[in-house]
Amino acid sequence: MVIKVYIASSSGSTAIKKQQQDLLGFLEANKIEFEEKDIAANEENRKWMRENVPENSRPATGNPLPPRIFNDSQYLGNYDDFFDARENNAVYSFLGLTAPPGSKEAEALAKQEA
């Protein structure tokens, strides 16, 4: 399982840049392995991302904007979905990964199972 984050290295949107930095910074800080896929520098990445974002997760008009998160080819969500998971201490579940021992998420899961 590989977490893939589709980003745009040259976006004119400050909001998109901040979201990308926040998402990538969180993954790096928590030592979560991921692949960064740039849709601005690679047409194949852009095409793949646009084709694999589910219909119900697309904007009403235009194309899906980065950042978009996948686990291999399974679509996980956009920045808002990631942010909600982070606020709920559920990032590892959101990403389809096992929470490391001692993490808030692992502790919460252990309490639920007890």
Q: Flag whether pLDDT at 110 surpasses 90.
A: no
Over residues 18-64, the pLDDT tens digits come to 999 999 999 999 999 999 999 999 999 999 999 999 999 999 999 99
pLDDT for residue 114: 75
Per residue, the 3-state secondary structure of the chain, as one string, reads CCEEEEECCCCCCHHHHHHHHHHHHHHHHCCCCEEEEECCCCHHHHHHHHHHCCHHHCCCCCCCCCCEEEECCEEEEEHHHHHHHHHCCCHHHHHCCCCCCCCHHHHHHHHHHC
Q: What is the pLDDT of residue 86?
A: 96
- Is residue 105 predicted with pLDDT exceeding 90? no
Question: Which pLDDT belongs to residue 58?
Answer: 93
- Give all domains of the chain, ordered by start, each with its CATH number: 3-113 (3.40.30.10)
